[in-house]
Structure 1
């Protein structure tokens, strides 16, 4: 009777141990799922935030990071499935994953993100410098063009004034010539009349 009780207790302990190991396994899977979701969320946020890169460069960079993250998650998943077959090492494996591998993995993600931020900032600065240079060139050319237009306007005004003065002078000279001619004719007529009067008086 006592042996039956002992066996019953041992079986009960074994069941509890199996349940605990199964619970730990589910917890680890849940943690990995949460990490995978956070990685995906962080990946999506970074993709939305960094819109400076060209489509080709962004796609290549995103694919590189996403493949690397997916590979790491696949390795963790495969390792968990393998460790499930060896329950005695499961607890140590999960502790190592939680305390070492996963933090290192997160640090690696942060490092990749920092490198990408630096690269995009560099590209943004290059584009900003080029745009500023183009703006400065446009402003300078606009000033030169405005100055040229002003010079042309002044030259046209000067030509107009000279031509107008020439026309006015020619007009005045013509009037003076006509007046002189009229006066000369009047003098001739007056002289002829005088001579006729004198001739008739004789």
Structure 2
């Protein structure tokens, strides 16, 4: 009897930090592919290899898991940049990074879940922080906030077409091609306007 028990593997001890991290990674992957409405707690738990009850233990609710997954991914934070040139480089780097599972960002997650009210609120807040507050403060000349939001619309459009809709030309473009044209478009909005309408 004792010999038989000795042959059994001891039960694996749960590592709370690892389990939480696995759940977040599974949630990010599910949200990026299916959005909030088609992502269930059960699916996330299954992908992470744990019981669904652990999602509620570590995060409380599906909404809380969603918010944490969004915060867990990097975004565009130009408030950390020392100059407008650096901010433009950060935006261009973000838009031309190779698209794979490791580059899933906040905007991608939020755009995939745009039918969810909380996702819309988080997306609006994120854009306000990054562009209305961050980038607009670096732009000289008139209509700085409007120009910053127009740059934001370019960022959202490319993120949507590339990461969600997978449109043909953008999907096929080499990073240097994207960067060349995006830099022209962004710089035309970032440069101080010479004769803006009144």
Q: How does the TM-score come out when normalised to structure 2? A: 0.27
The structure with the largest alpha-carbon Rg is 1
Point out the structure with the larger helix share.
1
Q: How does the TM-score come out when normalised to structure 1? A: 0.27
